[in-house]
């Protein structure tokens, strides 16, 4: 009997269905919060969504909009309609069809649901019409060029209407989308587990059976876990660790340009803390910019890995304003501007996330600015706490990261428009708002570039923000992981990725 069981087990081990499953273990810098595109507010959810939830429109490595759930789209002649043709035969993880009715249900939820954080993004949409089972038409209140970028992000992620009807606001506990992997379970602060969805419409590009996302905030610990074999891939590799990864033959550095940028938000209009010299006088802000050297920040704090920048758009991209490059440091001018504003010394507090890199960036700025007459105190805190304080207006200046968007409206208006949703410092210039609105209302790239160039002339003179640098995507993987490439949006796409065990 024992020989029979053993023989059967050996035979089974050689059939295709019995091949050991491959699992990709990914180390994240933070724990994802709401696994619901409607309620999500963190980039870490977007990383998981890349495997879990397909979008209507995808963004390729050259930042072009390409088909995903929608195979084609077209603007109406007046720019006030957008018609999308949907991919045939797509199903959600619960087996229900992904069709025009499902798209309408999702977009209406994003536009109207109490819990939705996508309402502002879809504010231009007046109604959603099902034309036929595979065609949906969006009627707009006014032309809205950034809408394609919106549909290439969380507002374009489709979930099962049946699952939403069952779970409502608690859909994040068991999300059902149509991506290459389906939800298995999550343990808060420990792991999010997904498994391959066999009925995925592009299943031939998926070579992994399971994915585990493990939140490990400490970058050094993430790297240690990668080296020990506890992880296969980590994101947000510290610039200080790049050389060590390159020396380790068991590891592989994966790097690429990114849309993400680091900016210093200055409180110019939010409560009493905006009334100090820095917040109330653009000459003081001009002096601060003249006192810092972005090239030095990159070399000293970032190991030369990132890209010094003074604009929300990355250098040499479509909407970057070429005639406003990164200014050189000029300490004499900084001192003169402070004297002109009536100050010998200006003190302010700089809030930063409590990470080694952010602290070092702040310390470099502190040292350089001191030579021009600035007395900067650094307040480092947990990232969420820093954001909460800035939202209350409880700050003088704060360094923050934005993951970047393919349309400039998603990089500029959010910070600078009078009602921008991350306009923490309450900067407001009606002329700038007018230009940003006009840029949203035209689809011609040349016209939009001219409008954003004019807008730059306003905000770069007022300086409610000092953009410091654009990131590079820095990932590290074990040598057994192949097929993974860094994407400009910083997300982890698992198509074509393989793990050799």
DSSP 191-248: EEEEEE-TT-TTGGG---SEEEEEE---HHHHHHHHHTTS-SEESS--GGGHHHHHH-
Confidence of residue 3 (pLDDT cuts 50, 70, 90): very low
CA angle (481 as vertex; 254, 355 as ends), nearest 5: 45
Strand partners of residue 266: 397
Q: Examine the pLDDT at 5 and tell me if it is beyond 50.
A: no
Q: Report the alpha-carbon distance of residue 345 to residue 168 in Å, rounded.
A: 55
Q: Which two tokens mark 79?
A: 């720019």
119-125 average pLDDT score: 94
Whole-number mean pLDDT of the chain?
94
Q: Examine the pLDDT at 430 and tell me if it is beyond 60.
A: yes
| Per-residue pLDDT reduced to its tens digit, 221-260 | 999 999 999 999 999 999 999 999 999 999 999 999 899 9
Q: Examine the pLDDT at 216 and tell me if it is beyond 80.
A: yes
Q: Examine the pLDDT at 11 and tell me if it is beyond 50.
A: no
The three-state (H, E, C) secondary structure of 310-357, written as one string: CCCCCCCCCCCCCCCCCCCCCHHHHHHHHHHCCCCCEEEEEEEECCHH
CATH architecture, domain 53-161: Alpha-Beta Complex (3.90)
Provide the pairing of β-strand 465-478 with 233-234.
antiparallel
Q: Report the alpha-carbon distance of residue 300 to residue 213 in Å, rounded.
A: 32
* Residue 445: per-residue pLDDT: 92
Q: Report the alpha-carbon distance of residue 439 to residue 431 in Å, rounded.
A: 13
Q: Examine the pLDDT at 271 and tell me if it is beyond 60.
A: yes
273-281 average pLDDT score: 98
Place of tokens 């374009």: 156
Task: Say if residues 475 and 28 touch (Cβ distance below 8 Å).
Answer: no
Provide the pairing of β-strand 23-28 with 233-234.
parallel
CA 269 remoteness from chain centre: 26
* Residue 10: per-residue pLDDT: 40
| Per-residue pLDDT reduced to its tens digit, 52-107 | 999 999 999 988 999 999 999 999 999 999 999 999 999 999 999 999 999 999 99
328-342 average pLDDT score: 98
Burial of residue 107 (number of CB atoms within 10 Å: 0-12, 13-18, 19+): buried
Closest CA to 279 of 462, 7, 27: 462
324-339 average pLDDT score: 97
Q: Examine the pLDDT at 475 and tell me if it is beyond 80.
A: yes
104-133 average pLDDT score: 96
Q: Which CATH number fits domain 259-472: 1.10.1520.10, 3.10.450.40, 3.10.105.10, 3.40.50.150?
A: 3.10.105.10
Q: Examine the pLDDT at 14 and tell me if it is beyond 50.
A: no
Q: What is the CB neighbour count within 10 angstroms for residue 480?
A: 15
Q: Report the alpha-carbon distance of residue 245 to residue 233 in Å, rounded.
A: 12
Q: Which two tokens mark 228?
A: 């020990």
Give every CB contact of residue 147 below 8 A, 6+ residues apart in sequence: 82, 124, 125, 138, 140
The three-state (H, E, C) secondary structure of 272-288, written as one string: HHHHCHHHHCHHHHHHH
Window from 85-99, 309-323, 379-393 with minimum mean pLDDT: 379-393
355-366 average pLDDT score: 94
Confidence of residue 17 (pLDDT cuts 50, 70, 90): very low
Closest CA to 37 of 117, 91, 95: 117
Task: Say if residues 165 and 422 touch (Cβ distance below 8 Å).
Answer: no
Confidence of residue 153 (pLDDT cuts 50, 70, 90): very high
290-299 average pLDDT score: 98
Strand partners of residue 305: none
Strand partners of residue 25: 212
Question: What is the reported pTM?
Answer: 0.85
* Residue 400: per-residue pLDDT: 93
Q: Which two tokens mark 115?
A: 């819990």
* Residue 313: per-residue pLDDT: 95
Confidence of residue 42 (pLDDT cuts 50, 70, 90): confident
Helix, strand, coil content of the chain in percent (nearest 5): 35, 25, 40
* Residue 19: per-residue pLDDT: 54
- Parts of the chain belonging to CATH 3.10.105.10: 259-472
167 membership: H or E segment, kind and range = helix 161-167
392 membership: H or E segment, kind and range = helix 383-392
Give every CB contact of residue 362 below 8 A, 6+ residues apart in sequence: 350, 352, 376, 378, 380, 399
Q: Examine the pLDDT at 7 and tell me if it is beyond 50.
A: no
Place of tokens 């004019």: 454
* Residue 308: per-residue pLDDT: 97
3-state secondary structure of 88: coil
Q: Examine the pLDDT at 162 and tell me if it is beyond 60.
A: yes
Q: Report the alpha-carbon distance of residue 248 to residue 227 in Å, rounded.
A: 9
- Residue 22 is given by DSSP the state P
Q: Report the alpha-carbon distance of residue 404 to residue 68 in Å, rounded.
A: 20
- Parts of the chain belonging to CATH 3.90.76.10: 53-161
* Residue 262: per-residue pLDDT: 96
- Residue 359 is given by DSSP the state H
Q: Which two tokens mark 7?
A: 């023989």
């Amino acid at each position: 009997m024992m020989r029979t069981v053993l023989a059967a087990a050996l035979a089974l081990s050689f059939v295709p269905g019995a091949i050991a499953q491959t699992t990709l273990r990914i180390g994240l810098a933070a724990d994802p919060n709401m696994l619901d595109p409607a309620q999500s507010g963190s980039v870490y959810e977007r990383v998981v969504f890349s495997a879990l939830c397909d979008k209507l429109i995808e963004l390729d490595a050259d930042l072009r909009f390409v088909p995903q759930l929608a195979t084609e789209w077209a603007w109406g002649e007046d720019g006030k309609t957008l018609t999308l043709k949907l991919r045939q035969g797509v199903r959600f993880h619960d087996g229900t069809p992904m069709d025009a009715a499902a798209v309408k249900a999702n977009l209406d939820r994003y536009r109207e649901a109490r819990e939705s954080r996508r309402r502002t993004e879809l504010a231009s949409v007046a109604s959603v019409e099902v034309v036929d089972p595979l065609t949906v038409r969006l009627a707009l209140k006014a032309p809205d060029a950034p809408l394609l970028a919106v549909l290439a992000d969380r507002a374009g992620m489709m979930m099962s209407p049946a699952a939403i009807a069952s779970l409502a606001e608690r859909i994040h506990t068991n999300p059902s989308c149509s991506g290459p992997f389906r939800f298995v379970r999550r343990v808060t602060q420990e792991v999010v587990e997904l498994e391959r969805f066999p009925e995925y419409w592009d299943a031939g590009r998926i070579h992994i059976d399971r994915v585990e996302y493990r939140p490990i905030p400490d970058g050094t610990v993430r790297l240690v876990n990668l080296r020990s074999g506890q992880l296969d891939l980590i994101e947000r590799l510290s610039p200080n660790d790049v050389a060590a990864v390159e020396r380790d033959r068991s590891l592989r550095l994966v790097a690429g340009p990114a849309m993400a940028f680091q900016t210093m938000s200055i409180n110019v209009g939010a409560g009493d803390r905006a009334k100090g010299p820095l917040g109330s006088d653009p000459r003081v802000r001009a002096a601060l910019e003249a006192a810092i050297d972005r090239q030095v920040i990159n070399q000293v704090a970032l190991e030369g890995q990132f890209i010094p920048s003074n604009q929300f758009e990355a250098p040499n991209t479509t909407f970057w304003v070429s005639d406003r490059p990164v200014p050189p440091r000029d300490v004499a001018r900084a001192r003169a501007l402070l004297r002109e504003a009536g100050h010998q010394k200006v003190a302010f507090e700089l809030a930063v996330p409590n990470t080694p890199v952010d602290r070092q960036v702040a310390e470099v700025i502190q040292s350089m600015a001191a030579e021009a007459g600035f007395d900067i105190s650094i307040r480092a805190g947990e990232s969420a706490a820093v954001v909460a304080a800035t939202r209350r207006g409880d700050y003088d200046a704060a360094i923050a990261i934005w993951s970047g968007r393919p349309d400039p409206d998603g990089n500029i208006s959010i910070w600078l428009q009078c009602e921008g949703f991350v306009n923490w410092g309450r900067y407001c210039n009606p002329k700038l708002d007018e230009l940003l609105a006009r840029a949203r209302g035209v689809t011609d790239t040349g016209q939009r570039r001219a409008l954003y160039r004019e807008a730059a002339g306003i905000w770069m003179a007022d300086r409610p923000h000092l953009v410091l640098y654009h990131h590079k995507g820095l990932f590290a993987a074990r040598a057994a992981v192949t097929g993974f490439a860094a994407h400009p949006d910083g997300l982890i796409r698992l198509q074509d990725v393989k793990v050799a065990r």
